[in-house]
Structure 1
Amino acid sequence: MYLLRLALASLANRRFTALLTVFAIALSVTLLLAVERVRTEARASFASTISGTDLIVGARSGSVNLLLYSVFRIGNATNNIRWDSFEHFAQHRQVKWAIPISLGDSHRGYRVMGTSAAYFEHYRYGRGQPLEIAQGRQFEQDPFEVVLGAEVAETLGYGLGEEIVLAHGVATVSLVKHDDKPFKVVGILKRTGTPVDRTLHISLAGMEALHVDWQNGVPARGAGKVSAEQARHMDLQPKAITAFMLGLNSKIATFAVQREINDYRGEPLLAILPGVALQELWGLMGTAEKALLVVSWFVVLTGLIGMLTAILTSLNERRREMAILRSVGARPWHIAGLLVLEAFALTLAGVLLGLALLYLGIALAQGYVQVQYGLYLPLAVPSRYEWALLGAILGAALLIGSVPAWRAYRQSLADGLSIRL
C-alpha cells in the first residue's frame, strides 16, 4: 500500500506530464471502445435493416443479389416474376401477409419502388419498428401519388403537393423520362436510417400506368401514346413484379415454404431467409471490419508506448530520487514495483477517463446517429468482450511498465548519488 501512495505522490509531483499521458491513453481507449461499440451495433443494425420478414422471393439468381436489389436497392434483378406466381404464394395457407415489389425506375438517382398498402402495414426495420408517416398520408386510389423517403425529401427539398417526373431506368442521369405522367407527393416517411429513406414509393397501379403505353422497353409515339387521364381509367393490374416479401403464420413452416417456392414448377424462383443472406453479405465486408479494429489497437499501442517513453525519459531525472529511496532502505524490487505501479496507475486512469469520454460521446450523439444512420448506440455497461479489451490494455501496461522497472532495478546506489559532468 505504501508503494501505491508513493507512486501516486510521484505522479502528482509530475502532474502535467502524467495528465498528458493519461489523456493520450484515454483517447486511444475511447477510440477502441467506440469502434467496437459501433462495429457491434452496426452489425446488429445491418442485420435488422429488415426485420419480421420470413422470406424474400425473386427470380432465381444469387441470395446476395436478391437481397441487394430487394432490400438495399442496389443492382438489378435478373428477371421478373409473373403476377400469378405472386398471387399463388400470397394465398398460401402458411402465408400471413405478402408485400409485392416492383423496381426499374428512378428519380434523380433515387430508386422508385412500386408496392401495395401492405408495405406500410407489415414492413419492419430495426427492432421490429414499423414505418411511420411524418407528413401527409399513404398513396390511395389515384395511381399518380408518391410517398417519399425522408432522405429523398430532405436532399431534393420536396414537400407535400409537389409534382415530380420519374425516369425510366436506374441511372443518375436518364435520357428517357415519363414527362407525360407526373406524380404528386402525398406523403413523406419518418427517417429510418435504412434504404427506405432513399426510396420513392408508388402503387403497383402507378408503376403499371407509367409503362402502359410502352412496348419492348420503348415508349409509344403518336396515336399509341396514353395520357395520364386515360391511364387512370384503364385496367392497371400488373402482369409482373420484381420480387415479394412474405410473413408466415409460423416460423416452423419457414423451411417448408422456402423449399416449396424453390421447387415451384410454374417458373424458376428463389426464396431466401433475410437473416442468413444478411450474415452472408456482412461476411463479405469482414475484412474492412477487422482492419478498422486493428487500426484501433495500434492507436492504443501508440498511447502505451507514449507512456513508456514518458517514464523512461523521467528515469534520468529521477536517478537521485531512486538513490535516496535506496539509501533509506528501499530494496531494488521496491523501485521496480514503484515504476510498475506508476504505469498501471496511469493506464487505469486513462481507461476510466476513456470510458467516461465514450459514454459522454454516446449520450451526446445517440439521437443524431440513430436518426441519420439508423444506428442505435445504447448507454449500456461494457460487454464481456469490452471488459476483456480493457483487461488486455491493463495487462499490456504492466508488461510495458516492466521495461523501465527492470532498468531502474539494475541501477546502483553509487550511480544514482554520483554527479556526472
Structure 2
Amino acid sequence: MYLLRLALASLNNRRFTALLTVLAIALSVCLLLAVERVRSEARSSFASTISGTDLIVGARSGSVNLLLYSVFRIGNATNNIRWSSYEWLVDNPKVKWAIPISLGDSHRGYRVMGTDSSYFEHYHYGRGQALQLAEGRPFADLFDVVLGAEVASALHYKIGDQIVLAHGVSQVSLSKHDDKPFRVSGILARTGTPVDRTLHISLGGIEALHVDWKNGAPAQGGGRISAEQARELNLQPKAITAVLLGLNSKIATFALQRQINEYSGEPLQAILPGVALQELWSLMGTAEKALFVVSLFVVLTGLIGMLTAILTSLNERRREMAILRSVGARPWHIASLLVLEAFSLACAGVLLGLLLLYLGIAASQGYVQANYGLYLPLSLPGSYEWSLLGAILAAALLMGSVPAWRAYRQSLSDGLSIRL
C-alpha cells in the first residue's frame, strides 16, 4: 500500500505530464468503446431496418438483390410480379397482411415508391417502431405524396408544395411527368432508415403517371392523358415490384416460403429479411473490422505515449531512485513503483474514458437515433467491453515493466554520480 501511495505522490509531483498522459489514454479508450458500441448497434440497427415482416416476395433473383431494391431502394428488380400473383398471396390463409411495393420513378435522385395504406399501418423498423407522421396525413388523393424526412429536409419541401416526378432513377432526368404534378400531403418522422429517402405515393398514382406511356416513353400528339382524365380511368395495377408479408403464425413461415418458391403461376422468390440482412452484412464485414483495428491502434498509441512519458522521466529521476535505494528500498521496490505508476495512469485513463463515453452518449443519444437510426444505450459495459478494458490494463502493466526493468538495473552509485 505504501508503494501505491508513493507512486501517486510521485505522479502528483509530475501532475501536468501525468494529466496529459491520462487524457491521451482516456480519449483512446473512449474512442475504442464508442466504435465498439456503434459497431454493435449499427449491426443491430441494420438487422432491424425492417421489423415485423416475415417474408419479402419478388421476382426470382438473388436474395440480396431482392432485399436491396425492396427495402434499401438500391438497384432495380429483374422483373415485376403480376397483380394476380399479389392477389393469390393476399388470399392465402397463412397471410395476415400484405404491403405491395411498386418502384421505377424518382425525384431529384430520391426513389419514388407506390404502395397503399397498409404500408403506414404495418411497416415497422427498429425495435418494432411504427411509422409516424411528423406533419400532414397519408395520401388520400390520387396525386398526393408523402415524403420521407430526409427528402423534405434536403429539398426544403413543406405541406402543400407541388412536385414533379421523373421517369426512371437518376439525379437528372429528361423524362418528367410534368403533366401530372403531385402535392405533398404528409411528411414522415425521421427513422434513420431508407424510408427517410423515399417519396411515397399510391399504386393508383403510379398507374396514373404511366397510363399514357408506351415502351418507356410518353405518347405523342393526341395520345396524352391529362391528370383530370386519369382520375376517370380504371387504375388497377397490372404488375408490382415486390410484396412484404406478415403471417398469422411464425411457424408457417418456411412452409409458405416453399409454397411461394414453387408457385406455378410465375417464377417468384420469397426471402426471410433477417437471413438476407445477415448475408448482406457479412459482405460489409471488412470495413467493420478495419474500423475496429484503427481504434485499437489509437489505444496502442495512447499507451505508447504513457511509456514514452515514463521513460523520459527516468533520467530526471535517477537521483530520486538512488535516494530511495539509499534509505533501504530494494531494486524490486523501485521496479514495482514504476509498474504501479503505469497501472495508475492506465486506470485513471480507463475511468476517465468511460466517463467521457457516457457523457458523449447522453449528449448525442437523441440526435444519433433521430438522424441515423442508432440507439446507443446508457448501459454498463458488456462482457466483451470489460475484456477490452482488461486487455488495456494488461498492456499498460506490460509496458510499465519496460521502465521498471531499466530502473531495476540502475545502480546506487550511478544515481548518486549524476552531474548537475
TM-score bracket, normalised by the shorter chain, equals: over 0.9
Mapped to 2, the partners of 1:201 and 1:82 lie a distance apart of: 21
Mapped to 1, the partners of 2:349 and 2:82 lie a distance apart of: 62
Are 1:111 and 2:111 an aligned pair? yes
Percent identity reads 82
Q: Give the equivalent residue in structure 1 for 2:391.
A: 392
Are 1:350 and 2:349 an aligned pair? yes
Corresponding letter in the other structure for 2:386 = W
Mapped to 2, the partners of 1:407 and 1:198 lie a distance apart of: 61
Q: Give the equivalent residue in structure 2 for 1:49.
A: 49
Superposed CA deviations along residues 29-70 of structure 1, whole A, max 9, x for unmatched, are 010000001001011111111000000011111111111100
State how 1:361-372 maps to structure 2 within 5 Å.
361-372=360-371
Q: Provide the TM-score with structure 1 as the length reference.
A: 0.99
Are 1:304 and 2:282 an aligned pair? no
Mapped to 1, the partners of 2:155 and 2:305 lie a distance apart of: 48
Q: Give the equivalent residue in structure 1 for 2:38.
A: 38
Superposed CA deviations along residues 272-313 of structure 1, whole A, max 9, x for unmatched, are 100011111111110000000000000000000000000001
Q: Give the equivalent residue in structure 2 for 1:72.
A: 72
Mapped to 2, the partners of 1:179 and 1:62 lie a distance apart of: 35
Mapped to 2, the partners of 1:259 and 1:401 lie a distance apart of: 61
Q: Provide the TM-score with structure 2 as the length reference.
A: 0.99
Q: Give the equivalent residue in structure 2 for 1:230.
A: 229
Mapped to 1, the partners of 2:305 and 2:152 lie a distance apart of: 49
Q: Secondary structure at the match of 1:342?
A: helix
Give the C-alpha shift of residue 314 in structure 1. Answer: 0.5
Are 1:383 and 2:390 an aligned pair? no
Q: Give the equivalent residue in structure 2 for 1:407.
A: 406
Mapped to 1, the partners of 2:277 and 2:5 lie a distance apart of: 54
Q: Give the equivalent residue in structure 2 for 1:313.
A: 312
Mapped to 2, the partners of 1:97 and 1:308 lie a distance apart of: 62
Q: Give the equivalent residue in structure 2 for 1:92.
A: 92
Mapped to 2, the partners of 1:377 and 1:366 lie a distance apart of: 6
Mapped to 2, the partners of 1:326 and 1:9 lie a distance apart of: 17
Corresponding letter in the other structure for 1:134 = A
Mapped to 2, the partners of 1:207 and 1:383 lie a distance apart of: 49
Mapped to 2, the partners of 1:213 and 1:244 lie a distance apart of: 25
Mapped to 2, the partners of 1:116 and 1:419 lie a distance apart of: 86
Give the C-alpha shift of residue 420 in structure 1. Answer: 3.7
Q: Give the equivalent residue in structure 2 for 1:341.
A: 340
State how 1:225-304 maps to structure 2 within 5 Å.
225-304=224-303
Q: Secondary structure at the match of 1:301?
A: helix
Give the C-alpha shift of residue 344 in structure 1. Answer: 0.2
8 Å contact from structure 2 (residues 114, 202) kept in 1: yes
Q: Secondary structure at the match of 2:68?
A: helix
Q: Secondary structure at the match of 1:389?
A: helix
Mapped to 2, the partners of 1:386 and 1:242 lie a distance apart of: 43
Give the C-alpha shift of residue 419 in structure 1. Answer: 2.8
Q: Secondary structure at the match of 1:303?
A: helix
Mapped to 1, the partners of 2:376 and 2:256 lie a distance apart of: 36
Q: Give the equivalent residue in structure 2 for 1:360.
A: 359
Q: Give the equivalent residue in structure 2 for 1:330.
A: 329
8 Å contact from structure 2 (residues 319, 418) kept in 1: no
Corresponding letter in the other structure for 1:247 = G
Superposed CA deviations along residues 365-396 of structure 1, whole A, max 9, x for unmatched, are 11111111111111111111000000000000
Mapped to 2, the partners of 1:11 and 1:145 lie a distance apart of: 69
What runs of 5+ residues in structure 1 fail to find an aligned partner? none
Count of residues in Structure 1 that have an aligned counterpart in Structure 2: 420
What runs of 5+ residues in structure 2 fail to find an aligned partner? none
Superposed CA deviations along residues 313-345 of structure 1, whole A, max 9, x for unmatched, are 100011111111111111111100000000000
Q: Secondary structure at the match of 1:193?
A: coil
Q: Give the equivalent residue in structure 2 for 1:209.
A: 208
Q: Give the equivalent residue in structure 2 for 1:10.
A: 10
Where has structure 1 moved over 4 Å in runs of 4 or more? none
State the Cα RMSD in Å.
0.7
Q: Give the equivalent residue in structure 1 for 2:130.
A: 130
Q: Secondary structure at the match of 1:52?
A: coil
Mapped to 1, the partners of 2:316 and 2:132 lie a distance apart of: 66
Give the C-alpha shift of residue 13 in structure 1. Answer: 0.6
Mapped to 1, the partners of 2:398 and 2:282 lie a distance apart of: 35
8 Å contact from structure 2 (residues 33, 385) kept in 1: yes
Q: Give the equivalent residue in structure 2 for 1:81.
A: 81
Are 1:59 and 2:59 an aligned pair? yes
Corresponding letter in the other structure for 2:404 = A
8 Å contact from structure 2 (residues 56, 270) kept in 1: yes
Q: Secondary structure at the match of 1:98?
A: strand
